[in-house]
Structure 1
């Protein structure tokens, strides 16, 4: 199969209520540049998102806390205060000024929250997250959410979604992946409840589904997406039969909200904190998401997929599917990533040591290809 320079990545597509001109999507990337006391995004974030915006391109914001009690990570932003909403409005205005679209990823940490930053570390159950080299007795104590707590957190998601729309976002993505709160309810690794929120798949789906339904009702289902990580092992997760859990979960969401804008699945790249081989190799090792994609497409929704894609594998993938391809690390070092991919320009390598540092270095100081002057001016250069 011959893959053209542009491929289907640059065909227009509508995602729920959001019209797009191409399918290169910015992943939700935690960068920890917000004010550590207030959770207000920094002024640097305005430029960061503006740089990565493109005409008709979709950006997914970094994980954004739905409430103070849902947080517990220093430097992560929120969308629950007037000051946070005001700063996000500056960011969304900057994205829209370039013709871009942006959705807000709604985030609650659950059992992985830093206990020094929250009064209570909440979880689906009392099962702690035990880090490598740590004994269970050293892990932070986790308090199981009661049904009343679950109702309160559902309200947090709804209010955060409304706040996101007030801040100018084009929609929201409910974060149900990577071992955070909603994922903790879905997976038996973190949910050993014996009430109506544990045990059977129907029970484990109950709270996450309530969130999807409530947020959809609040802002319109065509402005709502869902992220899941069926094959991920991050933060102690991974079902013995992941597709046996996440295919029914996707089907349940699609049955309840058939007009949901999209489902965004993370491929089997094993650890977000480590480099790995490209996506295609990992798919052979860890299984694949085809059956989930098929369910999403059959229901008439859109499928977004992330997981170590390169320029080459992304183009090949979109020749065979109607997916939108979500890029993380390459988008950090290449603010003009869609244009580079479209023109087969080389990519600037990223610097992992600057992913979570507090200043502009490694955040807003990466030049575009045109700013470099020419392909020969790129040093070092790598076609990824």
Structure 2
């Protein structure tokens, strides 16, 4: 058996103790019960199968009906949803796992069909190129469709969304989660406030770096006040350029956010790296600058294998590494990585929607191979 390495040494973070550093990244799978976007027993089976992760970060879950942007994604705003999630946290904890709920407001990455014909909301009414996955109510077939130009949020609406995040965090703890991760990446609402390309506001939420960071700070403050800073985390995407998010000021803005998050004492900072071909490189200079400002736990995600995960931890740029698609086809991914076992491929046609196929039917490795 290979000797223990950095990726497979214990770690304490976010109020948790884990035997290794392989995290399950949040992945939208679009299998909640309809109507009502309610988590269900099949979801519980899926997550329990992957409970050997150092931490499971769930698929993104809308904090309100307004926060929805994709068909069949779960929510955390109704009592039925809380009960559904409770079944999931109980199943994961029964297997010895640790699980955070990812809180989501998609902002402009949505469609009027989810909002009674009303436009999606955003910091500003800025056109952009972006698509969401939506199921046709007649054919029941899912497809990627364009998002329209959104309408700008009022100050009163912004305050309501901050409170929606607070209440969602409270419900998550009531549902048995170990903590929550705010989805501040990938061009969704928190990210939209951060970037000059999507935030054209002239009030206290737009313009200067400090103003563009105001919404993020208010959300993290509200959640931390509600459930404690150590159980509060956030995911950010510094090098994202897609979806109209190519902001020339985003790296300094995120470094300034890191200083605030460090002082706040959050549980961890989760960085999603560009994981598509010809994507911008996640530079070492940025990693160093970020680490100078944020000494608390960092999770990184994006095209990592074991060797690269060992490197990023050994350099001190990260403390844990999240794996997404590898966890789909390999429910026992930590074991496979630790023992250098082959990784099974996933079926991309079953990623979104459907039932058990391509969801809970991927087998663990043959233990005889260890």
TM-score above 0.5, yes or no:
yes
| CA shift for structure 1 position 89 | 0.5
CA distance in 1, matches of 2:167, 2:153: 19
Which one of 327, 346, 357 corresponds to residue 342 of structure 2? Answer: 346
CA distance in 2, matches of 1:151, 1:158: 11
Alignment of 1:12-27 (within 5 A): 12-27=10-25
| CA shift for structure 1 position 69 | 1.4
State whether structure 2 residue 299 is matched by structure 1 residue 304.
yes
| CA shift for structure 1 position 260 | 0.8
SS at match of 1:239: coil
SS at match of 1:235: coil
The 1:230–1:85 alpha-carbon spacing in structure 2 relative to 1, beyond 3 Å, is same
| CA shift for structure 1 position 351 | 2.1
Structure 2 residue ranges without an equivalent (≥5)? 132-145
Q: Cα deviation per residue 1:90-113 (whole Å; 9 max; x = unaligned)?
A: 100111011110000000010011
SS at match of 1:112: coil
Which one of 41, 57, 65 corresponds to residue 43 of structure 1? Answer: 41
What is aligned with 1:180?
A: 188
Report the structure, 1 or 2, having the larger helix content: 1
What is aligned with 1:318?
A: 313
| CA shift for structure 1 position 174 | 0.7
Which one of 205, 227, 233 corresponds to residue 241 of structure 2? Answer: 233
Deviates more, 1:35-44 or 1:165-174: 35-44
State whether structure 2 residue 211 is matched by structure 1 residue 203.
yes
CA distance in 2, matches of 1:234, 1:97: 39
The 1:141–1:317 alpha-carbon spacing in structure 2 relative to 1, beyond 3 Å, is closer
What is aligned with 1:8?
A: 6
Q: Cα deviation per residue 1:287-343 (whole Å; 9 max; x = unaligned)?
A: 74332133211xxx1101111101221123222225200100101110000111111
CA distance in 2, matches of 1:139, 1:164: 29
What is aligned with 2:257?
A: 249
What is aligned with 1:89?
A: 86
CA distance in 1, matches of 2:7, 2:343: 17
SS at match of 2:165: helix
CA distance in 1, matches of 2:147, 2:36: 26
What is aligned with 2:60?
A: 63
CA distance in 2, matches of 1:234, 1:287: 22
What is aligned with 2:126?
A: 127
State whether structure 2 residue 343 is matched by structure 1 residue 337.
no
Give yes or no for contact 1:111–1:128 (8 Å, CA) kept in 2. Answer: no
TM-score when normalising by structure 1: 0.87
CA distance in 2, matches of 1:233, 1:247: 17
TM-score when normalising by structure 2: 0.90
